Amino acid sequence: KFNVFAEASGYFQNWAPKHGEVVKNEVNGINALNTMTTREKETDFVDEYSYNTGTTPNESQPSKSEKFFLPMSSVGLSLGVQFNFGKAE
């Protein structure tokens, strides 16, 4: 008629964005987003990237940056007591 239980669970995963975009940019309360180039507003995250100082970047294309991972993990513990009412068989 009386049960006690414990349960542990875990989820372990990482997440990496593929694309980033600036959606708000205010300077002294004034919207400055329209003064930014595509390169300044958008970033594509890639597996490998090396910066070449000899080339001029294309301002109408998103910038590139190396991919980074964010942890999206959790661990949980459940404890409980269960009461059974009725006929025990």
Beta-bridged to residue 64, according to DSSP, are 44
Q: Which DSSP string do the residues of 15-68 spell out, in sequence order?
A: E--SEEE----EETTEE-GGGS-HHHHEEEEES-----TTS---TTS-EEEE--
Please give the pLDDT value at position 4: 94
Residue closest to 46 by CA, chosen among 85, 87, 8, 17: 17
Three-state secondary-structure class, residue 87 = coil
Backbone angles phi, psi at 69, to 5 degrees: -110, 140
Indicate the pTM of the whole model: 0.63
Q: Using an 8 Å Cβ cutoff, are 59 and 38 in contact?
A: yes
pLDDT in tens, 18-27: 999 999 999 9
pLDDT in tens, 35-62: 999 999 999 999 988 877 777 888 999 9
